[in-house]
Structure 1
Amino acid sequence: MSAFKIGVMVDSFRLGLEDGIKKAKEVGAAGIQIYATSGEMAPENLSPQRRKEILDMIKSNGLVVSALCGDLGGHGFTVPEDNPARIEKSKRIMDLAKDLETNVVTTHIGIAPEDHNHPRFKVLQEACEQLGEYGDNVGAYFAIETGPEKAVTLKNFLDSLSSKGVRVNFDPANFAMVTGDDPVQGVYTLKDYIVHTHAKDGVRKKPINPEWVYNRLQLPEGEIEDVNFKDYYEEVPLGEGDVRFSEYIKALNEVGYNGFLTIEREVGADPEKDIRLAVNFLNSKLKELGL
């Protein structure tokens, strides 16, 4: 049996929860990740009975939950006055994760600055300390998705935290597409923090300011609509982009990660086709590497 497990972001099928779960089983996944921020999967909309029903549905299809996605969008945790509500919502998503028998909630927090004296650094640090402490208390991880900043910058930010509850959801395509950082080297840099990964691929066409992508900042008002992000980067099916998957998976194995490779397909006209190809691609890579 492989040291790795293949997962699918169930929302990528665009079929709804129940049909998405069935489709995940059909394509050969072992687990699923689910968005849990709004709609039927928002914590405030799920009674204890409904949580049990969803977990039973997942288990009856032979699946487990690899993680929940708790990405609240927008500016993450960079605006102090918004953080109390966002932190409270994130804690409830961690509670839901535990009810669904996973201990990982993934999210974007905003861009961690290199300079520890930057005002945003302290804002993010304070928010993550609260979330990490809560994670420590309930046995869950609040996993920051890679991509907005280089791996060494994210590591320095994580090293500044006192709690163990804040970790990393490693997305190699975000590095390849946006920051231009090397995902393979990023695995070694962030090895002590990785608790979940996304299997995603992309190409970088020319440099772009990550602030435009993740914060929609630093462009005059009204001009962000004029930016065609496809001129800068593009998500593509697994194996067709800049991520060197053989080296990437080998690096994950070398640092001791043996969790999920969760396929995330955010674009494309036929996500099911792309996800099926991705499952086959990952299985072939794991076989090729003897993993």
Structure 2
Amino acid sequence: MLLGTITVGITAPLEEKLDRVRDWGMTCWQASAPEFGVGVEPGRVKDMAAARGLVISALAAGVPMSNPAKREDNLQAWRERVRIAQALGVPVLFSRSFPKPEGVEEAIAWKSCVDHCKEMTRVCDGEGCVFAFETDSGNFIESLAGTKRLLADVAMPSMRINFDPCNFYVGGGDRPDAVMDALFPLFVHGHIKDGIRPEGGKPQEVPIGQGDLDWGDILGKLRKRGYRGAMVIEHCPTFDCVAAAWDHIRSLNVS
């Protein structure tokens, strides 16, 4: 299993971000589509990561698939992001559903998600890469039940899952063991963050190590199940935040 981080949102040159990832002793880095603006060449980023001994684990390439009015724009953006992933040498691209737009009926939003997933999977199948769906709290699809229904309706065996235990827990109250039992064979990538569901309060994300999730248990069980993908720290807006999260992960001594 590879362990690393996401750096999108941290204000610093990309070279400095990759230097930090290397210096922390991580083995991978996840790229995100917003990092590839004008003048950022994916091939150069691939070389920069390789020079630092880092694997680029995946590309966050999300499109608002619950919005049927955006279908053509979304699929064009997806094809462009597949090209970025190919230039990076990245095998996995993932997207969440995004929230249902106001005024869109639930059944229409659901059909839009299914149609998007089918087409995004077909595009990836044709280009030699993998589409992974990410269940996300606050999104149209935010629970294990919703994810299982989506997979059944899409019915494409090459569709995979970006496993984020916090999202399942905060969004749907689903415990990591239940998600692993149901979906583990589909895991190709994942995120590390923490969350709480206080009695009478709002479920929310919190800094890693300050929530309800037992990351020593989660990572240990992933390893015992033979997981060989990446798990990366997410939603840390500063280098100090990433460093604190990484210190916590290392303190778990997961074997």
**TM bracket, shorter-chain basis:** 0.7 to 0.9
Match of 1:87 in 2: 75
The answer on 1:16 being equivalent to 2:1 is: no
CA distance in structure 2 between the aligned counterparts of 1:110 and 1:192, rounded to whole angstroms: 24
Match of 2:241 in 1: 274
C-alpha contact (below 8 Å) 1:152/1:189 kept by paired residues: no
CA distance in structure 1 between the aligned counterparts of 2:13 and 2:182, rounded to whole angstroms: 37
Match of 1:252 in 2: 222
Match of 1:41 in 2: 36
Partner SS for 2:136: coil
Which of 188, 194, 203 is residue 233 of structure 1 equivalent to? 203
CA distance in structure 2 between the aligned counterparts of 1:60 and 1:41, rounded to whole angstroms: 19
Which of 103, 122, 125 is residue 111 of structure 2 equivalent to? 122
C-alpha contact (below 8 Å) 1:200/1:237 kept by paired residues: yes
AA in 2 matched with 1:277: A
Aligned residues: 246
C-alpha contact (below 8 Å) 2:7/2:236 kept by paired residues: no
Describe how 1:56-135 pairs up with structure 2 within 5 A. 56-72=47-63, 76-110=64-98, 118-135=107-124
Residue deviations 1:195-232, cap 9 Å, x none?
A: 1010111222357xxxxxxxxxxxxxxxxxxxxxxx62
AA in 1 matched with 2:80: R
User: Are the structure 2 counterparts of residues 277 and 151 from structure 1 closer, same or farther at C-alpha, using a change threshold of 3 Å?
Assistant: same
C-alpha contact (below 8 Å) 2:68/2:109 kept by paired residues: no
Gaps of 5+ in 2: 101-105
- TM-score (normalised: structure 1): 0.76
CA distance in structure 1 between the aligned counterparts of 2:39 and 2:199, rounded to whole angstroms: 43
- TM-score (normalised: structure 2): 0.86
CA distance in structure 2 between the aligned counterparts of 1:120 and 1:234, rounded to whole angstroms: 24
The root-mean-square deviation of aligned C-alpha atoms, in Å, is 2.4
C-alpha contact (below 8 Å) 2:57/2:92 kept by paired residues: yes
Match of 1:175 in 2: 168
Match of 2:103 in 1: none
Match of 1:211 in 2: none
Range with greater deviation from structure 2 (96-105 or 14-23) = 14-23
Among all aligned residue pairs of Structure 1 and Structure 2, give the percentage whose two residues are the same amino acid: 25
C-alpha contact (below 8 Å) 1:51/1:99 kept by paired residues: yes
AA in 2 matched with 1:29: M
C-alpha contact (below 8 Å) 2:4/2:28 kept by paired residues: yes
AA in 2 matched with 1:52: G
User: Are the structure 2 counterparts of residues 16 and 107 from structure 1 closer, same or farther at C-alpha, using a change threshold of 3 Å?
Assistant: farther
